[in-house]
Structure 1
Amino acid sequence: MLSVNNIAKKLNLKVAAGNKGLEKQIKNIDISRPALEIAGYFSHYSSDRVQILGMTEISFFERMLVDEEREDRSKRLCRKETPCIIVTRDLHAPLELIEACNQNNIPLLLTETNTTNFFSQLSSYLEKELAPETNLHGVLVDVYGIGVMITGESGVGKSETALELVKNGHRLVADDNVEIKEVSNNVLMGSAPELIRNLLEIRGLGIINVMTLFGAGCILEEKRVMLNVNLELWDANKTYDRIGLEHKMVKILNSEVEQRTIPIRPGRSLAGIIEVAAMNYRLQHMGYDAALEFNGRLNNQIQKNGGLNNDF
């Protein structure tokens, strides 16, 4: 859960009143600027949101309202479910608002940042912290700028493959347990739990610290999950995609990620295959697809010869 104290520390906010309410939880990702409410219209007041007061709201509050109205608006802004009120531009908070916040234990916070920039900063922070999240068993690696989530049964070789990728100059994000947040539609951000950050478990060897062994350039704190490579033991009775026209998707939370299933067999370079998979993914999203090109050539050959010849 995210408390008011968390955002106060993260965004360097000063506490002007309502200290006893700093542990209040923020549950709504949306933010409000209560301009109409200060004017007296509270019919649709979103009281469970963080409230931001900028130059417009403060100047109207001080210049257009009499003492009784200021006191009334302040009390009505400070409802039980209101997480906090933030005043931007290092403006002086009205005394009536300070008193109301202290009486109702609503934190009143101050920032030097202008309203537009602060609104953007806070919105991005809340979207990330309050995003839906889950944990997946796998390894997340940054390969040529593509966030590759390596999955498969325990002991299939996920961590060993990640180690080989790190040795090839790629960056480890998380091993074994990946925390994933859905920060927006089809945007999944993966990171490692603090307990296992920078660590890899290699069976027969134990726990190794990737940053200590290979340097800070081989680890990454967070990466968008863009491609899922699922490792499985070779099954002679199973038909695997040999051309690449099939685009299977796997659902994580409410988003979908492209999935490639790689069968494991002695002698196969899994790290090399994953590197190629990442480069091919990038090319496809740039508009080039080798599988479609081959399919087009094949269709042209069929039309030209009136059927398949022995070359196919």
Structure 2
Amino acid sequence: MTAVLAQGLRRTYGGKAALDGLDLEVAEGTVCGLLGPNGAGKTTAVRVLTTLLRPSGGRAEVAGHDVVRRPREVRRTIGLVGQHMAVDELLTGRQNLELFGRLHHLGAAAARARAEELLHRFGLEHEGPAREYSGGMRRRLDLAASLILAPPVLFLDEPTTGLDPRSRAGIWRAVRELVAGGTTVLLTTQYLEEADQLADRIAVVDAGRVVAEGTPDELKSTLGGDRLDLVIRDPERLAQAAAIAGRVASGPAEVDPDTRRVSAPVADRVRALAEVLAELSAAGVEAEDIAVRRPTLDEVFLTLTEGERA
């Protein structure tokens, strides 16, 4: 079943398209990562899908409800964690969650019970005001507030921006638990590792439309499989090392003089590694490090978005 659907979605500001025919489909119970450079249209897409903005064209559905014709039904089925904190820092975590519960028309007893459940679930039993929370705790409180009504679809717009690695890992654990319970998540992020860790599928957005889509492994495979990386001890031997790597590569070797690194795509990782080691040794070229690795999402992202701007 499809939880989020966008077809030819458009949104213009003063004649300029922020969304320019965006197509997207997110299956129930999965995480879809929406990646793109600043200004690509990620946040605009989230705002349209959560009924905060009206589209200029196209159509979209969330949990089977049209975002234009049935916005109230959409709002009842979603949670949203935006880029900016939505909690009141003068209130405690418990008071914040009870307030959100009452705003969602829960009775006093039901709001207290739901707040207690979420405080325990996200490790937020601290009794002081939210201003005393760490950045990670405040973000977990934001996430908990979005789950007051246990929505089937959750939108996370760059939820870990500015958090330290430990706090980010805590948010990742919380998201995985939600998805394991059946929640569908649409995640926008600037951290490509975050998308690699969490997303079942990734849509790369640029200039208001999806330019590539697939699983993380599928997107990485578009760059030609494995890559051979060499770090050469003597920078004067970089060109020689690049020539050696180029003879076993399936594409052109790239040289970075600043890091003394040679990188090249390879089709057969074992054969390429053995042949390069033998040739480097025969030529007397010393390598400080040598490895065969998969392409990263960073490389996929740069290739796709730079290609769109070329």
Q: Larger C-alpha radius of gyration, 1 or 2?
A: 1
Same fold (TM over 0.5): no
Instruction: Provide TM-score, normalisation by structure 1.
Output: 0.28
From the two aligned structures, give the one with the greater helix fraction. Answer: 2
Instruction: Provide TM-score, normalisation by structure 2.
Output: 0.28
Greater RCO, CA 8 A, separation 6+:
2
